[in-house]
């Protein structure tokens, strides 16, 4: 189970384990206390899988449909990395990142961005969940979603991250774990910093520690921010962070 969780980048609390052997069920529960274990009542766990809110999605996005393919490609990617230095491996992936701005809930990619904000745990700088009305208010107040999609030579990963911004402030930054370890988050943050309003001198960003978001704790520090508690700040008038050389980043529409 440990190997599976590592391979697919999941927390044990997001997994359902099913086994007809009570000894195996007890062993798994002991090893992972927050995993959901089923198996003794088949009709019960069938109902759980088919009707429980935790196993349903409000809307099936393209990324959800392709999740199995993405996991298989990730395994292939990890196999490729063996015997290579990190720099050579990253360059070999031919990573392409496209950033797109969402300004309203009517945008065709809003549903996926909204899903990411509300489902992402390990790379989520605040852990805050949004309601539909929260998102609408954010856009009504002039806020933006900077979303980004990633592809490598093995597979397209689809839309994997969102930065919620308002004016020159980053309210929340989330990213799927399927592209963790590729420095995509650093390249996107550097790019977005360069797109923030030119008349603002200081960018602020919030970082709220949760029990799951260890992956994102240093993202602002690497980009040259300094912090006082939960608030990180960076002078936008100084040189932007260095762009990772293995990333090809483009802006949708060329702006």
The residues pairing with 141 across neighbouring beta strands, listed in sequence order, are none
Kindly state whether residues 111 and 51 are assigned to the same domain.
Answer: no
Number of domains into which the chain is organized:
2
* pLDDT tens figures, 160-178: 999 999 999 999 999 998 8
> What average pLDDT does range 126-135 have in this prediction?
96
Q: What is the pLDDT of residue 96?
A: 97
**Per-residue pLDDT at 122:** 93
- Report the CATH number at residue 117: 3.40.630.30
230, 220 in Cβ contact below 8 A?
A: no
Is 25:19 a contact under the CB 8 Å cutoff? yes
Domain holding 48, by residue range, is 2-55
Q: How confident is the model at residue 59 (pLDDT cuts 50, 70, 90)?
A: low
Give the Cβ contact number of residue 201 at 10 Å: 11
Please give the structure tokens belonging to residue 175.
């990213």
pLDDT for position 253: 67
Per the structure block, which two tokens stand in for 166? 């308002």
Is a pLDDT exceeding 60 seen at residue 158?
A: yes
167 & 85 share domain: yes
Q: What are phi and psi of 54, to 5 degrees?
A: -70, -20
Residues 154, 107: one domain?
A: yes
Per-residue pLDDT for 61 more than 70?
A: no
The overall average pLDDT reported for the chain is 89
């Amino acid at each position: 189970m440990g190997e599976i969780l590592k391979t697919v980048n999941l927390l044990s609390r997001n997994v359902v384990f099913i086994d007809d052997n009570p000894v195996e069920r007890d062993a798994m529960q002991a090893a992972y206390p927050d995993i959901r274990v089923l198996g003794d009542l088949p009709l019960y766990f069938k109902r759980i899988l088919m009707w429980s809110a935790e196993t349903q999605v409000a809307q099936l996005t393209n990324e959800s449909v392709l999740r199995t393919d993405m996991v298989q490609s990730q395994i292939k990617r990890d196999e490729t990395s063996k015997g290579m230095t990190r720099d050579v491996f990253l360059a070999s992936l031919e990573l392409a990142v496209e950033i797109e701005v969402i300004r309203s809930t009517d945008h065709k990619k809003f549903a996926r961005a909204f899903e990411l904000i509300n489902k992402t745990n390990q790379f989520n700088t605040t852990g805050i969940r949004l309601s539909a009305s929260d998102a609408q208010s954010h856009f009504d107040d002039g806020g933006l979603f900077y979303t980004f999609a990633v592809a490598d030579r093995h597979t397209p990963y689809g839309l994997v991250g969102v930065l919620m911004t308002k004016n020159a402030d980053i309210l929340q930054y989330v990213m799927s774990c399927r592209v963790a370890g590729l420095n995509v988050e650093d390249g996107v943050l550097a790019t977005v910093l360069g797109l923030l309003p030119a008349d603002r001198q200081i960018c602020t960003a919030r970082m709220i520690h949760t029990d799951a978001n260890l992956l994102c704790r240093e993202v602002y520090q690497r980009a040259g921010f300094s912090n006082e508690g939960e608030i990180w700040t960076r002078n936008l008038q100084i040189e932007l962070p260095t762009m990772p050389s293995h990333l090809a980043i483009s802006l949708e529409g060329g702006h």
